[in-house]
Amino acid sequence: MYQLSTARNSLDLVSVNNQLSNQNARAIVDWASQQFGENLVMSTSFGIQSALMLHLVTQVVPKIPVIWIDTGYLPKETYIFAEQLSNRLNLNLKVYQSNLSPARMEALYGKIWQSKDLESLNLYDRIRKVEPMQRALKELSAKAWLAGLRQNQTQFRQQLEVVNKQGEHYKILPILTWNSRDIYQYLTDNDLPYHPYFDKGYVSVGDWHSSRPLSENDNNERDTRFHGLKQECGLHLPLNNDEAQSLDSSQL
């Protein structure tokens, strides 16, 4: 096993990714647990396929802190789905929200999610998603973050490795190379549910105001988010070069 250097607090990512390239998802989670111990967390959106990662990870690390960023604008079905999965899987759920309530944000900035201007949409994401996630990582003393990103979701994610480093945190992606068939098979084998919006034609779901069903004109599932203007909300990608340092815990 590749241990963290006490001097540099870093991993040899080339060696680690070579080591893990032929490992299955459960083995990758096990590696992360042994490597980072109590400093390992995971995130969830309680989205369409979130039951997969929640089940996969908690089978290996039952009490791992599960960070959920609640924007305050999620569909009621998401809140019900989250409650059901939390109870079924006995999740160690850590819910984080913006310090600005939805009402206060709207009073100060308006309903900025309605804008077709990227600057306004990015401001919304910084307030409701990125800042709470950074705070969660800090308060939970996270050194590594398990997430369910996949290469076939966005152009940016195609370049990711199983283990990535940005700023002070490692991002570990156990199902990076999985496809829709792999996901369906895992959910079926383990009797796990999709989000209720799956039956309404959604392949990705976030806030009620910025998600829609997949259409024949969409190139990929992320086109159904953010009015089709962008593919990332900011949790996994810096919004611009100037913000790269301040958002380093939420990139990748």
Phi-psi region of 72 (alpha: psi -120 to 50; beta: other; left: phi over 0): left
Q: Write down the pLDDT at residue 150.
A: 85
Give the model's confidence band at 243: pLDDT under 50 very low, under 70 low, under 90 confident, else very high.
Answer: very low
Give me the mean pLDDT over the 12-18 stretch: 95
Q: Which one has a higher pLDDT value, 24 or 3? A: 24
- Does the annotation mark 233 as catalytic? yes
Q: Which segment of 25-34, 156-165, 237-246 scores lowest on mean pLDDT?
A: 237-246
Q: Which one has a higher pLDDT value, 184 or 204? A: 184
Q: Write down the pLDDT at residue 223.
A: 62
Give me the mean pLDDT over the 96-122 stretch: 92
| Enclosing domain of residue 121 | 13-250
Is 197 a member of any domain?
Answer: yes
* CATH code for position 48: 3.40.50.620
Is 168 a member of any domain?
Answer: yes
Q: Is 233 exposed, middle or buried (CB count within 10 Å of its CB: 0-12, 13-18, 19+)?
A: buried
Beta strands in 132-181 (DSSP E): 144-146, 163-166, 169-172
Is 8 a member of any domain?
Answer: no
Q: Write down the pLDDT at residue 228.
A: 59
Number of H helices, E strands in the chain: 8, 6
**Token pair of 234 as six digits:** 């900011």
pLDDT tens profile 121-174: 889 999 999 999 999 999 999 999 999 988 876 677 787 899 998 778 999 999
* Alpha carbon distance 198, 211 (integer Å): 12
Q: Write down the pLDDT at residue 215.
A: 59
Collapsing DSSP states into helix, strand and coil, what is residue 241? helix
Most confident range, picked from 164-173, 184-193, 226-235: 184-193
Which candidate in 20, 233, 235, 237 is catalytic? 233
Q: Is the pLDDT of residue 117 over 90?
A: no
pTM above 0.85, yes or no: no
Is 7 a member of any domain?
Answer: no
Strand-pair category, 40-44 with 144-146: parallel
Q: Is the pLDDT of residue 38 over 90?
A: yes
Q: Write down the pLDDT at residue 15.
A: 95
Q: Write down the pLDDT at residue 207.
A: 92
Is 94 a member of any domain?
Answer: yes
Count up the domains in the chain and report the number. Answer: 1
Is 201 a member of any domain?
Answer: yes
Q: Is 107 exposed, middle or buried (CB count within 10 Å of its CB: 0-12, 13-18, 19+)?
A: exposed
Structural Rg of the chain based on CA atoms = 18
Give the model's confidence band at 225: pLDDT under 50 very low, under 70 low, under 90 confident, else very high.
Answer: low
Is 204 a member of any domain?
Answer: yes
Q: Write down the pLDDT at residue 95.
A: 98
- Give start and end residues of each alpha helix (H) in 66-191: 76-89, 102-109, 118-125, 131-139, 180-189
Q: Write down the pLDDT at residue 164.
A: 92
Residues 249 and 133 sit within 8 Å (Cβ to Cβ): yes
Residue recorded with tokens 């791992």: 64
Is 5 a member of any domain?
Answer: no
Q: Is 109 exposed, middle or buried (CB count within 10 Å of its CB: 0-12, 13-18, 19+)?
A: middle
Mean pLDDT of the chain: 84
Q: Write down the pLDDT at residue 241.
A: 43
Cβ within 8 Å of residue 203, ≥6 positions away: 48, 214, 221, 224
User: In angstroms, how far is CA 69 from the centroid of its own chain?
Assistant: 9
Question: What does each C-alpha distance from 95 to 8, 79, 150, 167, 176 come to in angstroms?
Answer: 31, 12, 24, 23, 25
Q: Cβ–Cβ contacts within 10 Å for residue 80, how many?
A: 12
